Amino acid sequence: MALVGAWRLLSYADRTSVEEPWVSTFGSDPRGLILYHGSGLLSAQVAAAPGDDAAPWRYIGYLGTYDVQEAHRHEEKIVGIVLHHLDVAYPPELLDEEPERDFEVVGDALMIGDGLTARRVLERIG
């Protein structure tokens, strides 16, 4: 499966609507890692870089499982929907979020989010 592996975060951005500018939620140099294990286990950790006091958010992290709800090839991309089922999260309100996340894999690049109001860009490690 295209998601299995370790993914290093390159950027993490949000906006409230497509008319609004993108906000770098964890600053201009976010740190993060998402692990999708072949057994279905999931771990995600995201933090602002040390010393980046301007970042709107400092840290989120969660553990749980994942299920690929839908995936298909579109030209050179694999696009689909992955469900993140959280067992533990910080901050705890992440447990109330919807589990559905759009994704797109192109080679060793992963984008999670709808690309319109949420965009997390990662690269495969190893």
pLDDT digits (tens, 9 = 90+) for 60-70: 999 999 999 99
Q: Which is it for the CA torsion 13, 92, 62, 74, positive or negative?
A: negative
Q: Binning pLDDT at 50, 70 and 90, where does residue 1 land? A: confident
What pLDDT, in 10s, does the model give residues 11-61?
A: 999 999 999 999 999 999 999 999 999 999 999 999 999 999 989 999 999
The contacts found for 16-23 with CB under 8 angstroms, 24 or more apart, are 16/117, 17/117, 18/116, 18/117, 22/119, 23/56
Q: Are 126 and 6 in contact (CB under 8 A)?
A: yes
pLDDT at res. 35: 98
Q: What distance in Å separates the CA atoms of residue 84 and residue 99, rounded to the nearest whole number?
A: 5
